[in-house]
Structure 1
Amino acid sequence: MKKNRIGKTDMIATHLSFGGIKLHSNMPDKAENIVSKALDLGINYVDTARCYGDSEVLIGRVMKTRRSECYLSSKSIRRSKDETAEDVNISLKSLNTDMIDLYFCHDISREYHYEKIMSDSGSLPALKEAQKAGKIRYIGLSTHRADIALRAIESGEFDALMLSINLFDQEFVKDVIPVARKANIGIVGMKPLAGGAFNYPQIALRYSLSQDIDAQLVGISSISEIEEDFNIADNFKPLSEEEMNKLLEEAKELGKDFCRQCGYCLPCTVEIEIPKVFLYERYGKRYWLDDYAKEQYANLKVKADECEECGKCEERCPYELPIIEKLKSAHKYLTS
């Protein structure tokens, strides 16, 4: 498989890289076996985050014996210096390593997030201290907003950016990547399948791999998935005009106002499973599984009409979706 240098770092990563967001303890395929399979195939970059449940711990079990076979990155969603420093130490322990190659300030999707991490009491000083202490080698920033990505590039403080690379988030491809390339800042892609929204995931992945990025992360939940995605990247073919048109049609149908299933809106104050509500709505409206969608929704412990409109979910959503209004709409459809 093609390998690329991540910006000005010395990390030469496989074009397709392993995203640990889907790993959890109760998977049909044991999580450790999935990670091991990725390494067996030759994938040499594994990403996770403190906020991905027990993903770090599961990956760490494999790193006990195979740390030398891959680059590791993790991420902290904390904004303060002390909390970020604590997260770095927890990541090191969980991942069974004394050094993490690339550590990201994660989901910096509001202006005040950026201002906080860049302040003297923010995350960046903590990561610089961790870098000086040899705990991490490079510093990155992940964001869902092009304007914040451009500010990060201009600051000169970051070695890599993690950006959504799919047909819905064209501002990164058009406006950010060319600027990052001039500054020799690495580009790590995330969300190639836009949270599972595409009906043609193989084509969507090939679209992302076609862009000017160094590594494309894919969230993996089974051995068959990693094998299939590896084969797509290892035998990469550019999209045909017909395939591109399929993606464009889907993108037009979905618009941009849809849930990417990232789960950052959680936890809900009244325990509404927000991503599931929108997933069942999608099943009914897009896949004509009306009865199934309504049956699954009926089985949810807390329904969307119990929303107290506290707004915490909207503050957390990296795509700034009007979640409160969308929950009302979804509930109306799923109970009609």
Structure 2
Amino acid sequence: MVSLLAACGGGGGGGSDEPAPVATQLTITSNNQQAVSAEAVQVAEGSSMVADLGGSVVTGVQVSAASVLPGPVLLGGVALKLLSMAPAAPAMATGVTETVSETCSGGGSATVKMTSSSPSAVVPGDAVSITANNCVETINGSTVRLNGSLSLEIAAGSFDPDSVVYPKDLTLHMTAGNFTMDTVTLSGSMDLRLVQTSAMFGSVTLTAPSMSWKDAALNDTHRVTLKNYTHHVEHTTVDTSRIQVTGTVETDSVRIGAGLVSFDLNTPEPIVVNTLFGGMVIGGSLQVTGKNSGLLLTVVGNDTFELKLDANGDGTPEATSTVTRAQLRTLR
């Protein structure tokens, strides 16, 4: 169980008793269009991490260092490291829950609790939970300090990593309680469905009713929340993945609007990502829909987008411009 889950990554969770603020729908204008684009592309970068994660699931390759960005699968590398601390399934009695405490390589500790029903394959009900206490580890080439709890449970399907019979189909349910990774705090929950169609290729479908993160290291420190969020990643060639995204983005970025605002996001054409070059975006489009307004981002070159602004929502763009992914990153 550990070997599979270690490749799969994690999600977010937690919550508060305080009433959640209500977002107002954003009006997209010429003044905020680049900041809106930056937020939308950041979500797409999260999608490229899922593409990378999907590649790691079907090929056994570790999630790359390029994956260390805020997003719904930021915990992929974290789970890879922390789940390696769990007791090996063959050493456990079937149906038994075992808890171990581990000292982290750079200081601090992690408590790992594992329940397994089979010594060879993962099946519904199998689960791993980890609580990190100032746990310092090297993840994706960077030394980070981890705190909080992370849990993964098999929700449906089964997976035998040694079997050569395909397809393999497994759904993981993941939550995290106030999980922090240095400056990034994540909360929410998500399901991750993994379908391995061959020894090399497969797909990942992530669904999250609510997933949020905040990175205190960004120039514009703010929280991003994805609601009713789904993306589907098909890893169909050695170096590319195709991504489809839909959902609502809420943000309190002062660069975008006043207070908490929201916009809808989808992919009219699937985003195409080169997984061998740090998740380079090489094709596809993103549609951002606000209050009586819209913005279409079309990939016109490697990590380069054409922006078409429809400021009055009549379906006809009033302005067109070009921006690179690197330029957009400076707005976050």
**TM-score, normalised to structure 2's length?**
0.28
> Normalized per residue, which structure has more strand?
2
> Normalized per residue, which structure has more helix?
1
